[in-house]
Amino acid sequence: MQTRNRIVGLLYKEKSVTRQEIASRLGLSMPTVLANVTELIASGMVYESGLNESTGGRKAKPLSLSQDVHYVVGLDITRHHLRFVLEDIGKGVVRGEGADLDFQNDPDYFREMAHKLDDFIAASRVAHRKIEGVGISIPGIVNPLASEVSRSHILGITHVPLSWFSRNIAYPVCFANDAKNAALAEIPPQEGNVVYLSLNETVGGAFCQKQGLYNGDDWQSGEFGHMVIYPGGKRCYCGKSGCADPYLSSHALGENLEEFFKALADGDEQAKARFDAYTDALAILVSNLRMAFDCRILLGGDVGGYLSPYLQMIQRKAGTLNLFDPDGSYIETGHLKRESSAIGAAKRMAQLYLEQW
C-alpha cells in the first residue's frame, strides 16, 4: 500500500509519468512498478494517458490519475467572505466561487458556512460520492495537535475547537493556516527551500523545504508580521510597536487594492509616496528573512499578486541592505491572489486522500 501511495503521489505532482520514470524517480524495481500500476489501473485510479515520442524501440506509455472520478474542495475563511475552489484530483482546479458571509463565532455561522459549501458543490454538478474531502483554510494559528484555532486576530477568536468548523460538513475535513495553504498552492513540490511571505489583511508566511512545510514546535512558524522592523514604530494589534504587520498589511496601502494600484500606475503622487514607504518596509523584512533562511523569497497574498511590475525596484531596495546579495534576485512574486489559500487547502486535502491509496 505504501508503494501505491508513493506512485499516486508522484502522478498527482507530475500529472503524467511513464512506468520507467516512476521506477527511476521512486527507486523501485520495474516488477514492483508494473504490479502496482496494474492494480491502480484496475481500480480506476490510473489510466494510460497517451504515447510519448520514441527515440527507437517501443513507445513509452504515460500514466495519469483518472479525471472526473475524485474531487476535493478548498474553502478559505476570511472575516467577511468565503472562497471555494473545486479540484479534480486528476486534472486540477476546475471551478472557483466566492460568497459573502461575516464571521461570527456561533452555531448559525457554521451552519450557514456548510450550507454555502453544499450550494457550491451542487452548482458544480459533481456527485456527492465523488467528493473525497474538504480542506479548510483559516487566518490564524491552527494547531491540529490541540484540534483548535489557538488564535486568530482577523476572526477575533482564541482556542476555538476545529470541530466547530466541521460539525455540519458531510465530508472528511482537514485544516491549516491560510498562509501555509497559500504557500502550498504557489510553490511546486520538491522546489527546494523557499520562504513564502503572505501580504494580506495581516502579514504571515511559511518556510517550505523539500520535505514539506516547517510548522514549528507550537505550529506558530511563519508569523513574519510580528518581526520588529522599526523599533518604537507603529502600534501592532499584538501589542508591540514596530512590527512589520502595520507597515505591510494590505490596509497600509488602502482598503481597495485594485484602486490603489490603478492610481499608482496612473502616477498619483500620494499613491507613489505610500508605495515608496511600503516597499522600504518590505525591503527590510525581506532582507532579514534572507539573512535568516538563505533561500528564495516569494511575495504572495493579495498584495503580492500586484507586485510583479515593481519587482526590480523591490529587489534594488533589498539589495542595498544585504551585502551578500546586492542584486536582490532571490526575491520573486507569486501569480495567485485571493484564490491561493483555497487552492492550497484543496491540494492539502487531495494529498491526504491520496495517502490512503
Q: What is the domain extent for residue 217?
A: 190-333
DSSP 52: P
pLDDT of residue 53: 57
Q: For 304-333, what is each residue's pLDDT tens digit?
A: 999 999 999 999 999 999 989 999 999 999
pLDDT of residue 191: 74
Beta-strand ranges (E) seen in the chain are 46-48, 63-65, 71-77, 81-88, 92-100, 131-138, 141-143, 148-152, 157-161, 173-177, 194-199, 203-209, 212-214, 296-300, 331-333
Question: Does an H or E element contain 355, and which?
Answer: none
- Within this chain, do residues 323 and 194 fall inside the same structural domain, yes or no? yes
Residues sharing a CB contact under 8 Å with residue 274, sequence separation 6 or more, in sequence order: 252, 253, 254, 260
- Within this chain, do residues 214 and 328 fall inside the same structural domain, yes or no? yes
Cα→Cα distances 300→195, 304, 341, 347, 355, Å: 10, 4, 10, 17, 28
pLDDT of residue 188: 78
DSSP 93: E
- Within this chain, do residues 125 and 41 fall inside the same structural domain, yes or no? no
CATH at 9: 1.10.10.10
Rounded Cα distance, 174 and 189, in Å: 19
Rounded Cα distance, 139 and 346, in Å: 16
Domain count within the chain: 3
CATH at 291: 3.30.420.40
- Within this chain, do residues 126 and 167 fall inside the same structural domain, yes or no? yes
The string of DSSP codes covering 104-169 is -SSHHHHHHHHHHHHHHHHHHT--GGGEEEEEEEESSEEETTTTEEEEETTTTEEEEEHHHHHTT-
pLDDT of residue 210: 79
Rounded Cα distance, 39 and 45, in Å: 9
Tally Cβ neighbours within 10 Å of residue 49.
18
- Within this chain, do residues 149 and 224 fall inside the same structural domain, yes or no? no
Q: Which of 65, 80, 108 is the last residue of a domain?
A: 65
- Within this chain, do residues 30 and 60 fall inside the same structural domain, yes or no? yes
Q: Which of 34, 65, 96 is the last residue of a domain?
A: 65
pLDDT of residue 57: 54
pLDDT of residue 55: 52
- Within this chain, do residues 194 and 292 fall inside the same structural domain, yes or no? yes
Partners of residue 142 on adjacent β-strands:
149
- Within this chain, do residues 197 and 327 fall inside the same structural domain, yes or no? yes
Which residues in the chain land under pLDDT 50?
Answer: none
Rounded Cα distance, 202 and 275, in Å: 17
Q: For 203-245, what is each residue's pLDDT tens digit?
A: 999 999 877 889 898 888 999 999 999 999 999 999 999 999 9
Terminal alpha carbon distance of the chain: 6
- Within this chain, do residues 77 and 207 fall inside the same structural domain, yes or no? no
Tally Cβ neighbours within 10 Å of residue 100.
8
Q: Helix, strand, or coil here: 329?
A: coil
Pairing of strands 148-152, 157-161: antiparallel
Rounded Cα distance, 88 and 277, in Å: 42
Q: Which of 24, 42, 65 is the last residue of a domain?
A: 65
- Within this chain, do residues 205 and 315 fall inside the same structural domain, yes or no? yes
What is the CB-side half-sphere exposure of residue 248 using CA atoms within 13 A?
Answer: 31
- Within this chain, do residues 82 and 196 fall inside the same structural domain, yes or no? no
pLDDT of residue 58: 62
Compute and round to an integer the Cα radius of gyration of the chain.
22
* Phi, psi at 74, each rounded to 5°: -105, 130
- Within this chain, do residues 46 and 89 fall inside the same structural domain, yes or no? no
Among the listed residues 4, 131, 14, the one whose alpha carbon sits nearest the alpha carbon of residue 73: 131
Among the listed residues 73, 248, 98, the one whose alpha carbon sits nearest the alpha carbon of residue 172: 73
